[in-house]
Structure 1
Amino acid sequence: MKIHPLITTSDALAELCERLAKANFVTVDTEFMRENTYFPELCLVQIADENEAAAIDPMAPGIDLTPLLDLLVDNEDVLKVFHAGGQDVEIIYNLTGKTPHPIFDTQIAMMAISQSEQIGYSNLVESWLGFSIDKGARFTDWARRPLTERQIEYAIGDVTHLSKIFPKMLRRLIKTGRGEWLDIEMEKLADPENYRSDPDTVWQKIRAPSRNPAVLGRLKALAAWREAEAMDKNIPRGRIMRDETLADIASHPPREQAELAKVRGLSSGWKDNDIGRRLMHCLADAKPLTEAEMPPRTPRGAPLGKEGALVADLLKLLLKIRSREIDIAARLLARSDDLELLAAGQRKNLPILEGWRFEQFGRDALELVEGKLAFAVVKGKLKMAHIDKIAGDREDPAIVVDDADAGAPVAVAEDTPEETTAQD
């Protein structure tokens, strides 16, 4: 593979992108700094196909990134391959208002062909290519110039290794027939809504201090105000005010600015400075939430009760068994919230009851909560078995305790024949 010197001119970048636009895929990575800014500061972009690789310096004087950004967001013929690419996609969205498409994430893909939940890049390289990478430059200051040869070599390695891994991974996905399982996951990664900052909805990510409409109205107003302040100053929102302080002020609003000096988490200067005055104006203008704006009374789903919680635990056990049997990450098959909703009686709008997830897991999960399946120990391994099969295959039926209230079998059958397992 040809490795280019660091690209610092618009002409060299345009020529590179013209060649890469003819590739079937490109692997992409970025280096950035965001410890002291609201928006991540892009410091380096690495890109490769199967034949060449380069690092691009977006901080080089006068460089025009348009050809690169056009390749990433407008060229639908080239697949863009990332590893754990959420933050990389966010940076591209901030620059263009669009996300890379079509897109492929090798960390997500690994969940479909192994039980790895969030495999790191170094482990990915070791698993697929059989060697360890040098992590020495990982925590470097990418904004400092000039970049060293070691930094550039380390950075380019991220995309050259990935360009070798991706074709191998793609062949595995095709062989196992699991490529289509990932389509929805990749579209979620590319959804611009994931990266759009809306000050009016930021409050929903903060732990609500109460369900009082007036308190929540102040929380919403304060969160939006803080977001605007952080964006305007380009500093992390926590530098303005921590979530805990914001929630405390929403619950116990000061009557006058001087009282801000007593608020834990704020400096005494807030009692008479401009930002303190803006905060007080924000509180004065805050309106209670309307009934339509109020959050649901429960986080997501319905209260389970003691018996329902036991059923949810059984579903989680089933999930562990099935993920092990078919060698897939449990989190890709089902989320805990969805299992609790199923245990609570919900049957609509659950991903586990649709498409491939239903075929691989949802059907058995549904039969478990309906009392048609039980757990069984087969040659020392925990598996699933149909209750009627257990009874029909043995003179001395396996012991199955049916919890009528929970609606799911909760006991174990010993030495059940393998043909009665759920996989069959």
Structure 2
Amino acid sequence: MSTITTTDDLAAFCMRAAAAPYVTVDTEFLRERTYYSKLCLVQLAIPGDDPSNAVLVDPLADGLDLGPLYELFRDHGTVKVFHAARQDLEIFAIEGDVIPEPLFDTQVAAMVCGFGEQVGYETLARKIARAQIDKSSRFTDWSRRPLLDSQKRYALADVTHLRDIYEHLSAELDRTQRRAWVEEEMAVLRDPATYRTEPADAWKRLKMRNPTPRFVAIAQRLASFRETYAQSNDVPRSRVFKDDALLELASLKPRDPKDLGKARLLLREGRRDPVAAGILQAVEGGLAVPKEDLPSLPQPKSRDQSNAALADLLRVLLKAMSERAGVASKLIATASDLDDIAAGARDGIWSKGWRAKVFGRDALRLCNGEIALACEGNAVRVVPLGETVTDG
């Protein structure tokens, strides 16, 4: 099991990878005690059974520069293959300011090819590569050195079997002419904004129930302070203070350290400077917002109960269309999307691109009374109004 610990060796492998049609990629990282993921290992594999075609890259090795890897990521001649790529891509977007191109995510491709909702790597390895993954090293400290042989075998398996998975799914996409469907899904993963959390937008993560505008103004500033502090000090936002403490503070509106002491949910770390000072400053900023400038949460979409039957019909239609297409239904539309359509929405991700062809157009036709649904044995089919429905 080859482990790369020098920049020259990494450059040599990346040169080989640049001549290959694809390279499979995975990472091991830690994030329990930091805001940003700590990259501990990179796994790479190119086609072929030669043991030298699969390597581990140790980013913790003294003097190792990942520059050659980032150059490979920018090389459009080699497809970069990941499984459930988002967390891996976030690391490279932040540490290397690079998002691999071209990009292929086997989890997304598997959903398009009928393997179900967010199918795991172990399932695909078993079904496609006929391999069993040893999970014993999954929850391990990847920052400790030296790595055990069991850890290395586990890490390499994440990219060696991925070669078979990619080749199978790629061929299936060509056979079904659905490669463009996966490309549509890659747009979000290729967008650098996907991996940035702006402090000013951090409040949108909060679950606030019918708050007052003043409450929202304070919560916005508390969330912005917490995000800025967490990013600057590379600590998890929950280590600054948790969401429930933030919402309690927005309700209490503490003006001084004595008021801060009344917060039941604020842990000891949050009562010390500079966090305590930041909390009081954020509250003061929220209280100072003029009444006419106060924010408010968007009003929830009205979902008339009279549309419940239509929502149920849309669920039947979605299930039928997803099964017919062999695509995971949640990739087409969510339960919330169906409720929105039943309540009058006529635009959404479900109404664009390949989703419109598979489901969206028929969903709108159903809402407009242009089609009906009929059972034929165990199947459901779309019936244009005016067509005679015969017994199945």
Could you list the structure 1 runs, at least 4 aligned residues long, displaced by more than 6 angstroms after superposition.
Answer: none
Unaligned regions of 5+ residues in structure 2, if any? none
Aligned residues of 2:125 and 2:165 also touching (Cα < 8 A): yes
1:319-361 CA-partner distances (Å, limit 9, x unpaired): 01111122110022223333333222233x4233333222221
Aligned residues of 2:213 and 2:295 also touching (Cα < 8 A): no
Show the 5 A alignment for 1:174-185: 174-185=174-185
In structure 1, what is the equivalent of residue 328 of structure 2?
Answer: 329
One-letter amino acid of the structure 1 residue matched with residue 16 of structure 2:
R
Q: Which moved more, 1:334-343 or 1:136-145?
A: 334-343
In structure 2, what is the equivalent of residue 16 of structure 1?
Answer: 13
Aligned residues of 2:34 and 2:234 also touching (Cα < 8 A): yes
Give the superposed CA RMSD.
2.0
1:308-329 CA-partner distances (Å, limit 9, x unpaired): 2331222122101111122110
Please give the TM-score of this superposition, normalised by the length of structure 1. 0.86
Aligned residues of 1:46 and 1:53 also touching (Cα < 8 A): yes
Cα 1:285–1:178 shift into 2, 3 Å? same
SS where residue 201 of structure 1 aligns?
helix
In structure 2, what is the equivalent of residue 296 of structure 1?
Answer: 298
Aligned residues of 2:322 and 2:358 also touching (Cα < 8 A): no
Cα 1:25–1:272 shift into 2, 3 Å? closer
SS where residue 56 of structure 2 aligns?
strand
One-letter amino acid of the structure 1 residue matched with residue 216 of structure 2:
L
Distance in 2 (alpha carbons) for counterparts of 1:292 and 1:98: 38
Larger C-alpha radius of gyration, 1 or 2?
1
In structure 2, what is the equivalent of residue 69 of structure 1?
Answer: 70
Distance in 1 (alpha carbons) for counterparts of 2:34 and 2:180: 38
In structure 2, what is the equivalent of residue 356 of structure 1?
Answer: 354
Distance in 2 (alpha carbons) for counterparts of 1:356 and 1:220: 37
Show the 5 A alignment for 1:30-109: 30-51=27-48, 52-72=53-73, 74-109=74-109
| C-alpha displacement of 1:207 | 1.2
Aligned residues of 1:222 and 1:282 also touching (Cα < 8 A): yes
In structure 2, what is the equivalent of residue 313 of structure 1?
Answer: 312
Distance in 2 (alpha carbons) for counterparts of 1:309 and 1:28: 45
One-letter amino acid of the structure 1 residue matched with residue 3 of structure 2:
L
Cα 1:127–1:9 shift into 2, 3 Å? same
Distance in 1 (alpha carbons) for counterparts of 2:61 and 2:370: 65
| C-alpha displacement of 1:272 | 6.0
1:197-227 CA-partner distances (Å, limit 9, x unpaired): 2000000110125442221111111001111
Distance in 1 (alpha carbons) for counterparts of 2:173 and 2:295: 43
Cα 1:156–1:318 shift into 2, 3 Å? same
Aligned residues of 1:209 and 1:251 also touching (Cα < 8 A): no
Number of equivalences: 386
| C-alpha displacement of 1:62 | 0.9
In structure 2, what is the equivalent of residue 371 of structure 1?
Answer: 369
Q: Which has the higher contact order (CA 8 A, sep 6+)?
A: 2
Cα 1:170–1:253 shift into 2, 3 Å? same
Aligned residues of 2:117 and 2:330 also touching (Cα < 8 A): yes
Cα 1:268–1:33 shift into 2, 3 Å? closer
Distance in 1 (alpha carbons) for counterparts of 2:303 and 2:280: 42
One-letter amino acid of the structure 1 residue matched with residue 298 of structure 2:
P
- Percent identity between the two aligned chains: 38
Matched, 1:346 2:345: yes
SS where residue 311 of structure 2 aligns?
helix
1:273-326 CA-partner distances (Å, limit 9, x unpaired): 44212321222223548759543212xxx3121112331222122101111122
Distance in 1 (alpha carbons) for counterparts of 2:279 and 2:384: 62
